[in-house]
Amino acid sequence: MWHAFIKLTAMIFLAVFSTNLIAKDIVVEIYKKKFIPATVTVAPGDKVIWKNIEKRQYHNVWFKQFYQEEPDYLFPGDSYEQVFNDVGEFPYECGPHPKMIGVVIVKK
């Protein structure tokens, strides 16, 4: 009985601590037709938030490997966020400005 309790406690402990308890928010600013910074390295579970801080230019954040259709435009003051749970490299671009590119690198 006592043994089972300790075993269960250990299992819960492992389950909790194997997930990212300190998930962070990482901000990428969109300014002067650039993603700043263009490369971000995050841990699984982190959230990346893109903020359009232009005066009048719209953009978007298009992960072509995830979405076939171009996402909605982000106008000045708008933001877009995405949580990354899988390890890997995820390049993206801006639909209206294909030269605007960035990448999210997710590693443990």
Residue 57 CA: distances (Å) to CA of 36, 61, 102: 15, 14, 18
CB closer to Cu ion, 34 vs 47:
34
Query: 76 and 106 in contact (C-beta within 8 Å)?
Result: no
CB closer to Cu ion, 50 vs 84:
50
Binding of Cu ion by 97 (CB under 5 A): yes
Binding of Cu ion by 94 (CB under 5 A): yes
5 CB neighbour count, 10 Å cutoff: 9
Binding of Cu ion by 51 (CB under 5 A): no
CB closer to Cu ion, 43 vs 63:
63
Q: Figure out which of the listed residues 42, 50, 59, 93 binds Cu ion, where binding follows CB under 5 A.
A: 59
Bridge partners of residue 50, in order along the sequence: 28, 80
Instruction: Determine the interface stretch with Cu ion among 18-26, 67-75, 84-92, 100-108 (rule: CB under 5 A).
Output: 100-108
Strand order in the sheet with 101-106: 39-42, 101-106, 88-93
Binding of Cu ion by 100 (CB under 5 A): yes
Whole-angstrom distance, CA of residue 23 vs CA of residue 45: 6
In the complex, the residues that contact Cu ion under the rule CB under 5 A are: 59, 94, 97, 100
